Structures are given as structure tokens and as C-alpha cells.
Structure 1
Amino acid sequence: MNNRKVAIVHEWFAVVAGAEQVVGQMLDLFPQADVFFIVAKPDTVERTEFLRGRKVTTSFIQKLPGSRDSYRRYLPLMPMAVEQWDLSAYDIVISSAHAVSKGVLTGPDQLHISYVHSPMRYAWDLQHQYLRESGLTKGLKSMLARWMLHKLRIWDYRTAAGVDHFVANSGFIGRRIKKVYGREAIVIYPPVDVHTFELCTEKEDFYLVASRLVPYKRVDLVVEAFSAMQDKQLFVIGDGPEMNKIKKLAGPNVKVLGYQPLPELKRYMQRARAFVFAAEEDFGITPVEAQACGTPVIAYGKGGSRETVVHSSDERRRTGIWFENQTVDSIIDAVYRFEQFPDGISPAVCRAHAERFSAARFRDEFRSYVDACWAQFNASRNLESIAGTRAARTFYDQSDNRLGEMTLESR
């Protein structure tokens, strides 16, 4: 494997979030790999340790006006952008995909493995939610957006044929891959830096939500729910376009702290009575980080939370509780049910569960999978070569026989 040329392809590198951490772990496994981004912020690349000194290739979109900060506006050009990279010199292409990177062009003698964080949500099952949140439900702009998404779906489905093996970051995304592309995927959970979030067994009487303040995270529902339970305290950590909305919804028992550096975030996460998570996520890293701190999670029971939070009657396994609906009433009901556990939820059980998602585990599983795929790929090529040689011999033998017959007839 070490003598094979590897390319790692990712969509954009603007912040170092969960998907980018996956790229970092892949580069740890394949230190000689070259990296391809549609767009990369130079300052983010410079301060990211796992990219220092590496060959990083970007697309033509990198040179377009405003692309480094407003790259999403160029989404219609991104399929063409990833198709312009000449990857023919690489034996193995690994795409880290949540939009278009799996659409890179590869040949029959190249192995393409795609680690999928999610098929394009806004182009598939979440299209209507995306259009509502973007104010694109009617009018000419809505028609243009729908047409663009229609074209993206056609391209996205077609390019799935160029992927040899799909890897999903959760069983939930595995089902999405099956639904959208008609392909099976194995599940390898993304890496979570559980060692940074140390266990704390001493808890205080407050709840915590930590998230980007964007619509789909549904922090507004959590704030509304706790504002209606004024005997319970909630801290909100995070920043984003919904900050003003969150502040207006917050009652006197809800403290909106905005962005907090990692040491402060950890301190709140370690001391919280429970972490509240209302989003439907593909995987969801922050609930795992909370459990690594020994903090149980009250989570919306759909998406990745069903795999990262153990909702069980067995206290030896239980790490949290699910609520059924993304509503204020459902969250309130879950909080009261959580508080009825006679002995609470064990911090040690939460921590042990979180360790199942460690970075070391990701590296072991992903490396083993790539090695197995490469061995299978080579074995298949060798068999095809042998079969082709046999077929050629049969063809030439038959040709010789026919030629001999023709020669006899001509006499």
C-alpha cells in the first residue's frame, strides 16, 4: 500500500469542523497523499497542522470573486470544477463527500472509495426545507433554484457509478445512500477527539446546548422549552445568524453566552447536568463529546442520535434519553422524564460509550477497509487479466482452425 499514489478530495476547506477532521485522520493514515479542495481559505490552511507542508490543489473556483468567503454561491459550477482535476496518476482516490467531491473522474485501473458525510441534503430529501429556510418557495428565484437542484440530482446520481465503494458516517447516512444512489455502504463512524474532553463526575444543576446558531440545529426550540421551565437553568454556547432570534426567545433562566473558546466549552460540558441536542444530524459530534465528559444527552431521536446516544431501560447501557418530535412540548416532556431516573445516568457509562467513537478506532477501521478494498481490487484485475488471456487463446485457436479449414477449401 505504501508505494501506491493516493489522492484525497474534499469539497471546501473554510473551517476545521467534523468533516475536515475526517480528512485530517485520512492524511494521518496516508501521509504521502495529495489533497484537492474546490476552495480553501489560505489562513485556515496555514493554521491547520495536518495540512502544513502538503501539496494542496484547488479548483478554478478559488480564483473567482468572493469565492473564499461566499463559496456556496458557486455551487452550480462545482460539478464541473471537480471534473477538471486530472487524477489519472493516482492508484487510489478517496473522496470525503457531502456535496460534489465523489464526482471526480477516475478510470478502470483506479480504486475510488467515497466516505460520505451525507448525500447533498438540499438537493434530495431536505430540498423543501432548504427552499423554505432560504425564502425560495415562490417566484423566479425559486424556479431557478429548483431547476438547479434538479440538474444537481441528475449529476449526483449519475456520478455514483464512478465510486467503487461507499462508506457512510452512520447507519442513518447508509440508508440515505441506499435511497439516493441504490448502493450499499459500510458504516465507519467519524473520529471524535474524546481524549480532549476529559471525564468529570461532579455535575451542577444546569443544562447546556452548544451549537452553531443556524435554523436546522433547532436551538430555538430548546431555548423556548427552558424559558417555559423557569425553575431550570440553561446555558447556550455558540454563534451564528440566529443569535438575535435566540436572545429574544431567552427567558431570565436562559443565559446566551455566544462563542466560547474550547477550554470554556469543555468546562460547561463537564459540569452540566445534561446536554440538550435538538437537531436531526447525520452523525452529531457534540453529543459524543458531551458523553466523553461523562455528561448524559437529551436528544431528538432521529438521525445520528439514535446511534450515538443510548436510550435504554438498562442503566448499565443508558447514556441519555430521546424525545420524539422537534417541538417545545416534546423537549419539556423529555427533561422531566430525564429527571425521574432515580439514580441519574452514570458518567462512567457515558464515557465508555463515547470511547467507541475515538480517532484511533476510526484510523484502525478505515485503514483496514482501504487495505481490504485494494486487495480485492487487485485480485479482480488479476482474474480479469487471466480470463482475458484465456479468451484470447481460445479466439486465436478458433481463428487458426477456421483459417486451416478455409485453406483446405481453397485447394
Structure 2
Amino acid sequence: MRVAIAHDYLTQRGGAERVVLAMAHAFPDAPIYTTLYDPEETFPEYAELDVRPSRLNRIRYLRRHHRAALPFLPSAVSSMTIDADVVLVSSSGWAHGVTSTGEKLVYCYTPARWLHQQRRYLGDHSSRGTAVALRLLSPWLRRWDVRAAHTATDYITVSSVVQDRVHSVYGLPSVVVPAPRPNTDACPSEPMPSVETWLDGEGFELCVSRLLPYKNVGQVVAAYAAEPRRRLVVVGSGPEKDALRAAAGANVLFLEGITDGQLAWLYRRSRALVAISYEDFGLTPLEAASFGKPSIVLRWGGFVETMVENLTSVFIEVPDAEHVRRALEQLDAREWDTERIVEHAARFHEDVFVENIRELVKAQLEKHDRS
């Protein structure tokens, strides 16, 4: 059985990169093909795996600024021919364009946001250069994107929201397999003395997110500007980092590049997680739940499928600061059952995902053998 894995790019630490690690656990001998690979910026576990980047990886600037590689990624991906019985593709916009000598099974987080949800992805303050580049390239990229999608043998989607979107954008059917929650709850805590000093014995809420417009971290930060007695720790990096730091008060602490052990320490010490982004799935509330912590989430997309109101989370209807402030009051007013929250998170354990994905790959292999 020859299985390979393909992923867009390994240049950051996000939910998709964790899912690829789970795929690698399911198929330990599978090489991982990708366009760009920066071992310093993604999860350290990749250093132990067989990662095979494209020729673009020779350009250091693109490894550190993968968004600048956008005009070159279609050709880089299209030129990848992977010799395997089944290629398991992890894609949010690029890797579905690889060529497989066997079957190609695409695990889709969403059709490319920067093509099909541009306003939400870029926000209201994107640079003029970015807007012009996307306006010029979008028609060609959409054609490439649809053609690439139709080269897949089958599609898997991360949620029913994405399943509907894949049908709408590509006209393709798919099956839903929820992503696995991260297993950081199994990590021993690595204390962070500097954070301890900053907290000075006070409690805090946590926000773990890439700093992009559609993540709505700015509204979370604004809520804490109006609640100076509360404390917030934001973990993540991205294009909005400088603007968010400038807008934050002294009661907000920003961290990036931390280890899983340090993240586990933060989850264990926190009161709750705040995640009000437009997520097609949303891993961080499940990660928080694995530590028995409730979340404040937006009633949208994947959160509706993975979270249970008043059991694991408080829902808000609009991702703005005032709704976050009200949700914090509800959070404080309720007694949360830690054991039931942990039990809910167990439904999304990596072992469940591994079993499901192995069965789907097995079905692809049987299809390959019949052909």
C-alpha cells in the first residue's frame, strides 16, 4: 500500500498543519509533499518526517512570506506528480492541484477563501497592491481552482458548512469527516515565568488564533479595552499583529511561537477560550474543551456543529466587542461541568479521525485495484 500526503505549505502553526500530523500518524511511512517548508515556523514534529517541498522552497523569502508566492503556487503544485496508489491531500486552496499516478482523495478545509470569500478573508483594510493583484489574478485562479478540484477521485470535507460550499463552488459531492482536536492535553505543562509575572496572581481568558481579519481578534481585544480588570492572553501571529498590539491595553498580552507544552500550561491556567472567528470547523474550542475549559464562540459555521450551548460554550450572534462583553458576564454566571466538557472533546480525539481516514483511504485503494 503506497500512500502519500500533500499539503499546501508548511510555514506556520495552525489547525491544518496539525491535521497533517494526524494524517502522518495514520500513515507513518507516507512522504509529505508541499510547496514551501519552513521547519522553524511550523510544528517541530515535521523535522522527524519525510517532507518533500517544491523548487519554490529554494527562495527563502517565500518560505517566510508564503502569501507573496501566490502567483507561483498553481504552477508549482501542477508540476508535482506524486507516484502513489493514493495521495491524501490536505487542502485549503492549493494542494488539490497535485497530480497522482493513483487515486487522489482531497480533505478540504474550505475552497480557497482568498478566491471565494475575498472580502471576509482580507477585511476592510487590505493593501491596495493586494486588492489589485487579486482582481487581476482571480479569474485565472478560479478557472485553475475548479479544474484542479475536478481531478480528485473523491472529496472529504471538514464540516457540513464546507460540504455545502464544495458543492456550490465545484459542483462536487463529499463526505464529512470532522478534524481531530489537537492532543495538547497530553503534553506536560511548561511554565512561563514571564507570563506568571504579568498575571500577578490574576485569572485570564485565552485567544488562540492567526491574526487575520476574518478571525475577529480585533473585536476581542476591543472588548478587553472596556474591561480593564480582566486579562486576556492572545497566542498567534499574522498580518494584523502590529495593529492589534497598538490597539490593545495593558491588560492584553500577545505571545507567538510557543511550544505545545507552554500552550498546555496556558489552557490549564485559563478560565476560558474566546473564539469568535468565521470558522468552517474551528479546532481551538475543542482543544480548550479537552482541558475542561468552556469557550465563547460565534454562532456560525463549524462552531455550531462542534460546540454545545451551555455545556461547552456561550454563543454570541455578532462578532463584536459588546457581544463579547455580555458573553463574559454569562461565562462568569454559570458553573461549568469540567468532566462533561472533557467527555464532549473526546468525541473528536485523533484516534477517531485516524480510524475514519484509514477506512476512506482503504476504499480508494480498493477502487484503484479494481481499475
Does TM, scored on the shorter chain, surpass 0.5?
Answer: yes
User: Is 1:71–2:62 an aligned residue pair?
Assistant: no
User: 183-192 or 121-130: which moved more?
Assistant: 121-130
Residues 238-257 of structure 1 aligned to structure 2 (within 5 Å): 238-251=236-249, 254-257=251-254
Cα distance in 2, alignment partners of residues 132 and 113 from structure 1: 35
Residue 179 of structure 2 aligns to a residue in which SS? coil
**Structure 1 counterpart of 2:315:** 322
**Structure 2 counterpart of 1:120:** 112
**Structure 2 counterpart of 1:350:** 341
Using structure 2 for the length normalisation, give the TM-score. Answer: 0.86
Residues 357-368 of structure 1 aligned to structure 2 (within 5 Å): 357-368=348-359
Given that residues 88 and 104 in structure 2 are in contact (C-alpha distance below 8 angstroms), is that contact kept between their aligned partners in structure 1? yes
Structure 1: 5+ residue stretches without partners: 313-317, 382-411
Given that residues 309 and 321 in structure 1 are in contact (C-alpha distance below 8 angstroms), is that contact kept between their aligned partners in structure 2? no
Residues 127-166 of structure 1 aligned to structure 2 (within 5 Å): 127=119, 129-130=121-122, 132-136=124-128, 142-166=131-155
Residues 9-408 of structure 1 aligned to structure 2 (within 5 Å): 9-41=6-38, 43=40, 48-52=44-48, 54=50, 56-64=51-59, 66-87=61-82, 89-106=83-100, 110-127=102-119, 129-130=121-122, 132-136=124-128, 142-194=131-183, 196=185, 205-251=203-249, 254-259=251-256, 260-312=258-310, 318-341=311-334, 344-379=335-370, 381=371
Given that residues 106 and 162 in structure 1 are in contact (C-alpha distance below 8 angstroms), is that contact kept between their aligned partners in structure 2? no
Given that residues 198 and 292 in structure 1 are in contact (C-alpha distance below 8 angstroms), is that contact kept between their aligned partners in structure 2? no
Deviation at 1:129, TM superposition (A): 4.5
Does 1 or 2 have the higher relative contact order (CA < 8 Å, sep 6+)? 2
In structure 2, relative to structure 1, the CA distance for the partners of 1:299 and 1:128 (3 Å cut) is: closer
Q: Residue type matched to 2:328 in 1?
A: V
In structure 2, relative to structure 1, the CA distance for the partners of 1:374 and 1:53 (3 Å cut) is: closer
Identical counterparts, % of pairs: 28
Given that residues 320 and 345 in structure 1 are in contact (C-alpha distance below 8 angstroms), is that contact kept between their aligned partners in structure 2? no
Structure 2: 5+ residue stretches without partners: 190-201
The C-alpha deviation readout for 1:245-299, integer Å capped at 9, x for no partner, is 33443345x2314335444432332233321112112222221111111111111
Residue 39 of structure 1 aligns to a residue in which SS? coil
Given that residues 26 and 354 in structure 2 are in contact (C-alpha distance below 8 angstroms), is that contact kept between their aligned partners in structure 1? yes
Given that residues 9 and 94 in structure 1 are in contact (C-alpha distance below 8 angstroms), is that contact kept between their aligned partners in structure 2? yes
Given that residues 96 and 114 in structure 1 are in contact (C-alpha distance below 8 angstroms), is that contact kept between their aligned partners in structure 2? yes
Given that residues 199 and 292 in structure 1 are in contact (C-alpha distance below 8 angstroms), is that contact kept between their aligned partners in structure 2? no
User: RMSD across aligned C-alpha pairs, in angstroms?
Assistant: 2.9
Cα distance in 2, alignment partners of residues 148 and 156 from structure 1: 12
User: Is 1:6–2:3 an aligned residue pair?
Assistant: yes
Cα distance in 1, alignment partners of residues 247 and 236 from structure 2: 15
The C-alpha deviation readout for 1:17-58, integer Å capped at 9, x for no partner, is 32222222222222332321112225568x84455363x432
Deviation at 1:152, TM superposition (A): 0.8
Cα distance in 2, alignment partners of residues 356 and 82 from structure 1: 34
User: 354-363 or 125-134: which moved more?
Assistant: 125-134
The C-alpha deviation readout for 1:59-109, integer Å capped at 9, x for no partner, is 23223462222232121221111221233x4221211111211112246xx
Deviation at 1:127, TM superposition (A): 4.5
Given that residues 197 and 293 in structure 1 are in contact (C-alpha distance below 8 angstroms), is that contact kept between their aligned partners in structure 2? no
Given that residues 311 and 322 in structure 1 are in contact (C-alpha distance below 8 angstroms), is that contact kept between their aligned partners in structure 2? yes
Runs of 4+ in structure 1 deviating by more than 6 angstroms, as ranges, are none
Q: Residue type matched to 1:8 in 2?
A: I
Cα distance in 2, alignment partners of residues 351 and 171 from structure 1: 23
Deviation at 1:208, TM superposition (A): 2.5
The C-alpha deviation readout for 1:355-408, integer Å capped at 9, x for no partner, is 1111111111110121123324544x3xxxxxxxxxxxxxxxxxxxxxxxxxxx
Deviation at 1:172, TM superposition (A): 2.1
Q: Residue type matched to 1:145 in 2?
A: L
Question: Bigger radius of gyration, 1 or 2?
Answer: 1
Deviation at 1:354, TM superposition (A): 1.0
Given that residues 158 and 179 in structure 2 are in contact (C-alpha distance below 8 angstroms), is that contact kept between their aligned partners in structure 1? yes
Cα distance in 2, alignment partners of residues 147 and 213 from structure 1: 26
